[in-house]
Structure 1
């Protein structure tokens, strides 16, 4: 087997752990810490926000570090940081101690999430650049499905302190040997092959399916139109995910809302599977625009017709788009800019994307409280998603003209 596919498999596992202990684990820490210590939810929620902000600030450094030293030292540091941060949450006795814990988790998340994974996979593939990234980031869906129940089981079975110590130790034992062994090579040239593993270095280099289009003239338009579009789209997406249970509970009840969230996660998984199959043969900007339009329609339908059947259908449509939008950002940059210095290039965009999207949950919450319910906020979220689509499409057109 071409070693690049082993890199993809390793990144799949890394993504599952990172999303399980990071994005989706945050809701478990919020509930468990407030229940154990009786602290205000707002204080713990601010620590979770700090995790996202720290991650946003170091995304560029992660990309540059992988370009310079390779993925192994960067991802090893990230795995150690995340394992220590998760383990330490169970040991805290004062509220201020929450913040260093979530700083450690934020540093680990920055290294082990989209930027780290995309920069690790990018040098290994040309013809399968989109498929390889989609399959690697698909581990995020597994993290959503498995990570939260595993965290809840560990805390329920062993208590907050011992449960999180066990989770942190398991994460370290799983990730550290995997990263050290599989990610020991930075690019296929180190093992005498070209990208995709099709030929040796002595044979002609196969032409890329879609040559990079970035030039000195259009680089800013390409990069910042993608960054702005995916930042707005993901802000609304993260906001919807965070408020999904609260939105669904009045219509479906507690159990029904939980089932719908799981079904939405399954729809996202299907979306990533289909994306992996088609992405290398389509225009990725146009595909992202189509998905954003579908997500905007789903949000608007919820705002106009808040009934149980519409809620279920719109959630499944929106979930399918989640599987695309979270993955297409690095694929757009990789295709348009090429593999050279991809980590540093996408790291710049990822910092902006994560910084803006971190405020998505708060934005939806403020709209709900100030406008008297979710319906006006969902309509505004639909409009913001369409604006993101317009930015992405217009940026591609302007870059092509220049």
Structure 2
């Protein structure tokens, strides 16, 4: 039996996500530690350059979504590959703080095309019954980026030095991703190869226990549905990106550099487990309550680290928080895809992603400023816990208001 081509697209996006998250989101933690250690520059200054990385990515999210809707994923993702490879390599060549900014601009352009918006917009046209599962499996590559990406970056820098190590990383990224994107992502959707979504199978309720229902967004509730989800994942991912960026620096005093790297990898493992669980249940549950439940657990983990900064608490809470990363990162586009449908998904989620990334871009800088102002991470972690709970509240309220004109599922 031939494998539905959509699953090949998912597999390709899995690999793309592994490199994108490894060099982008999770790699930022390595860049922060490596650059500050090599040159003695202030943490807040380097974190500000990383913030630019997220700001640039946020600014072009809507353009990325619309461009993939119009021209297909191949040219857009190839451009992103060139940017993220070049940006990572150039970080190793800096000799002054200002030189970090153009490097992170390139990295941000690459991240914008190869991360959430690019991947979900590429996958969305291929599935209906398995919309949640397909997106979750594709984004699961992000966990591989955390598990393997951070240790490999640290290994490359440790073995070859900051300059040559990041050059090697950039070259390998381009040599792997460019042929993959060119070969696999040459179709925009199943119609181009004479198939229907999910592999030309009847959309029955008993197929994989997934239930297909029409989008619920209408002229009466689309604003509250979109913007409540946008507000929630803006707050949640602001905290999440800040935590991930500072995770190595936060853990190093208690665990040492090698121990901190292992903890980041272990956190990536729990994120991977979280996405595995999510892939099994996401098409059968109400995603807004699920996201809120996970965010409450994340909030508790952050507060625990802030109040009891000991090795057992740091390890246990990091693993709990990592499990939530696997859910929260994925559920944003799943909520939008389920409530708004596949038509023009790139533009719709691109709008949300612009706000989400624009807001979350300030996470690393704010966390760095709080750390420098208080002389430690404790107070910032407590504030981050409260912010996460605020996002959970926004999602629940938006869902309840949405029920007045449609059924939120």
- 1:61-118 Cα shifts (integer Å, max 9, x gaps): 0001011111111111111111222233334455443322221111111000000000
Query: Partner of 2:338 in structure 1?
Result: 335
Relative distance call for 1:315 and 1:82 in structure 2 (3 A) is closer
Moved more, 126-135 or 252-261: 252-261
Aligned residues of 1:115 and 1:346 also touching (Cα < 8 A): yes
How much has 1:43 moved relative to structure 2? 4.2
Query: Partner of 2:62 in structure 1?
Result: 60
Q: How does 1:106-255 map to 2 (within 5 A)?
A: 106-199=108-201, 209-249=212-252, 251-252=254-255
- d(CA) in 1 for partners of 2:97, 2:319: 38
Query: Partner of 1:282 in structure 2?
Result: 285
- 1:200-245 Cα shifts (integer Å, max 9, x gaps): xxxx766862321011111111111001001101112222233334
Task: Give TM-score scaled by structure 2 length.
Answer: 0.90
How much has 1:387 moved relative to structure 2? 1.2
Moved more, 72-81 or 92-101: 92-101
- d(CA) in 1 for partners of 2:364, 2:299: 17
Q: Is residue 2:325 matched to residue 1:322?
A: yes
Moved more, 257-266 or 18-27: 257-266
Q: Is residue 2:259 matched to residue 1:260?
A: no
Aligned residues of 2:44 and 2:372 also touching (Cα < 8 A): no
- The gaps in structure 1 that reach 5 residues or longer are none
Residue in structure 2 matching 1:394, options 386, 393, 397: 397
The RMSD of aligned alpha carbons is 2.3
How much has 1:255 moved relative to structure 2? 5.0
Residue in structure 2 matching 1:22, options 24, 36, 58: 24
Relative distance call for 1:268 and 1:175 in structure 2 (3 A) is same
- d(CA) in 2 for partners of 1:85, 1:17: 13
Aligned residues of 1:82 and 1:106 also touching (Cα < 8 A): yes
Q: Is residue 2:267 matched to residue 1:271?
A: no
Query: Partner of 1:376 in structure 2?
Result: 379
Query: Partner of 1:4 in structure 2?
Result: 6
Q: Is residue 2:352 matched to residue 1:349?
A: yes
- d(CA) in 1 for partners of 2:190, 2:223: 29
Relative distance call for 1:132 and 1:147 in structure 2 (3 A) is same
- d(CA) in 1 for partners of 2:395, 2:164: 46
Query: Partner of 1:51 in structure 2?
Result: 53
- d(CA) in 2 for partners of 1:39, 1:299: 27
- d(CA) in 2 for partners of 1:310, 1:160: 32
How much has 1:252 moved relative to structure 2? 4.9
Aligned residues of 1:118 and 1:133 also touching (Cα < 8 A): yes
Relative distance call for 1:161 and 1:374 in structure 2 (3 A) is closer
User: How many residues were matched structurally?
Assistant: 398
Moved more, 1-10 or 318-327: 318-327
Aligned residues of 2:65 and 2:347 also touching (Cα < 8 A): yes
Moved more, 49-58 or 158-167: 158-167
Relative distance call for 1:292 and 1:8 in structure 2 (3 A) is same
Relative distance call for 1:4 and 1:216 in structure 2 (3 A) is same
How much has 1:44 moved relative to structure 2? 3.5
How much has 1:250 moved relative to structure 2? 5.2
How much has 1:353 moved relative to structure 2? 0.8
Moved more, 373-382 or 276-285: 373-382
Moved more, 35-44 or 8-17: 35-44
- 1:183-215 Cα shifts (integer Å, max 9, x gaps): 11101111111110034xxxx766862321011
Relative distance call for 1:192 and 1:55 in structure 2 (3 A) is same
Aligned residues of 1:89 and 1:101 also touching (Cα < 8 A): yes
**SS, match of residue 401 in structure 1:** coil
Aligned residues of 1:12 and 1:139 also touching (Cα < 8 A): yes
Task: Give TM-score scaled by structure 1 length.
Answer: 0.91
- d(CA) in 2 for partners of 1:92, 1:8: 36
How much has 1:298 moved relative to structure 2? 2.2
- The gaps in structure 2 that reach 5 residues or longer are 206-210
Aligned residues of 1:194 and 1:205 also touching (Cα < 8 A): no
